[in-house]
Amino acid sequence: MLNKNGIPTLEDLRQVTPPQERLNKGPVAIAECFQCIPCNPCSTACPVHAITVQPDINQTPVIDWDRCIGCKQCVAACPGLAIFVVDMNYSDDLAAVTLPYEFLPVPEKGACVNGLSRAGAVLGPFEVVAARQAAGNNLTWLITLAVPKDPAMDVRNIQVGGAAHE
């Protein structure tokens, strides 16, 4: 389905999703990068060398989840906006999901936005708990949402405006 509608299948996602045991340990990067293209900014941005794109720069990135510290450097570096950081330990009932964002207006901390699935479906209104611009001359913002744990692995974009806390 990915080649037809841009939405990865469950099998595609299983290949790039950390095991639940790792998700439960704290923030971890997830690269939903499925196309073989010459690209490696994520691997060069990673301060702990947890991401490799080897031996061919055309291959998709591989994340060593045990090495990943969830620093979000790869999220900001990815030109395809295909990397996310999920922290299932944010609170007892909420996960923190950090997404790349390159639209205006940029939501501020405390704002309520709609969390969207990979297909663009609204998964619910969620609070922005952090919003920061990536370092350097990067126009990408890192938006972190507090999301109930159940849909945390499905929220992959946001819609600003129109959301209200329930």
Q: Is residue 131 situated within a structural domain?
A: yes
Host domain of residue 8: 2-159
Looking at the structure of the chain, the number of domains it has is: 1
Nearest residue to 38 via CA among 60, 16, 63: 60
How far, in Å, CA of 127 to CA of 165, rounded? Answer: 8
pLDDT score, position 105: 94
pLDDT score, position 2: 64
CA angle, residues 30, 31, 33, in degrees to nearest 5: 155
Number of H helices, E strands in the chain: 5, 9
Condensed to tens digits (0 to 9), the pLDDT of residues 65-90 reads 999 999 999 999 999 999 999 999 99
Residues in the chain with pLDDT < 70?
Answer: 1-3, 5, 137, 163-166
Helix (H/G/I), strand (E/B), else coil: 13: helix
User: What's phi and psi for 46, nearest 5 deg?
Assistant: -70, 115
79 neighbors 41 (Cβ within 8 angstroms): yes
Q: Is residue 164 situated within a structural domain?
A: no
117 neighbors 52 (Cβ within 8 angstroms): no
Q: Is residue 165 situated within a structural domain?
A: no
Q: Is residue 26 situated within a structural domain?
A: yes
pLDDT score, position 165: 58
pLDDT score, position 14: 86
pLDDT score, position 137: 65
Q: Is residue 86 situated within a structural domain?
A: yes
